[in-house]
Amino acid sequence: MEKEQVRENKIIDKELYKHFVDKLYEKKQLKCFVEYNELFDLINQMRDLNKYNLNDFEEKSEIYEIFELLMLSWGLFSFATAGLQKHGETKMIFFSLSTQIANNLSSIMHLTLKGLNYQVGIISRAMYEIVLLLPVLLIEEKKREKYFESAKKLNSNKIWNDEFKFSQLNECLVKYEEKITKGKELKFLRKIRSKQYSSYSEYTHNSFLRSFVDSYTRKTYKNNKDDTLQFNLWGASNVKAEINFSNICSLMIYISYILQNIFSSDNKFYIDEIKDEQSREHWNQANYLLIIFREIYLYKFYNIDN
């Protein structure tokens, strides 16, 4: 069998990578470094484990590798904290939710490449709730205790209704945002959260418009008058790939800022108990790649270079 060619990296080129590494080190936002070649060794290992192949799709969108950075970062968070369950409820919660975030990202990758866009929408809604839930649990000790105790009391539905509805999570995050920005106006974040949550909810509520539209797909990536719709049963062409990946990347930008602040303000709480050298390396790499993901995504898609 002919050996598969290594695809060229369309977006994370060496010069761009070096630009953001140098900039972030200058700002003292990075405490770890992953060499460019090492980064793609890690990504290739993740591809092998996930058993997906992007070679057929690399010409269609430039966001795939950015999405892979995101997947890799959260997988490394899971690896880093896998042995910390004995160190208390916070570590167990972070391990379990980081694992599910990584697995959800993997699921979105697989389903998107199969063209199963409606199913991507359902998982995206679950991702949205985890992204709001995780920082709230790290910030609020009482909520964290109730969440943890729900496993013993078998009352997770009651706890969700009492503590973790969207409006309650949103309220907690608004207070934290105001605290870390010293009272600056952040109502736009609240509006964005509400709008996105409502949009994702259309999938879990099986709205007619969503279910009908995603029963079809365009045959090609080019939006022209000769393009036709085709039946989207058991997966078809992934013409919504860039939309699916961009929506999730935008969502994960938010948690990257929040977690960076949480880790920097109470970093020893997470790091000191990681005694295993490899786990500590995974933790540092995960933090590093989450920041690199954010900077490259904002630069390439919003022309933001802070």
Which of residues 47 and 84 earns the better pLDDT score?
Answer: 47
Task: Share the mean pLDDT of the chain.
Answer: 80
Q: What pLDDT is stored for residue 266 in this prediction?
A: 54
Q: Does the pLDDT value for residue 210 go beyond 90? A: no
Question: Predicted confidence band at 5 (pLDDT cuts at 50, 70, 90)?
Answer: very low
97-119 residues labelled b (16+ CB within 10 A) or e (exposed): bbbbbbebbbbbbebbbbbbbeb
Q: Locate 240 and state its tokens.
A: 């919504």
Q: What pLDDT is stored for residue 54 in this prediction?
A: 55
The 10s digit of each residue's pLDDT in 24-76 is 777 766 666 788 888 888 888 888 877 665 555 544 467 888 999 999 999 99
Q: What pLDDT is stored for residue 190 in this prediction?
A: 64
Q: What is the mean pLDDT of residues 75-82?
A: 91
Question: Where along the chain do its domains lie?
Answer: 14-218+227-302
The 10s digit of each residue's pLDDT in 183-209 is 565 566 666 777 777 888 888 888 888
pTM for the whole thing? Answer: 0.82
The answer to whether the Cα torsion of 41, 238, 246, 262 is positive or negative is negative
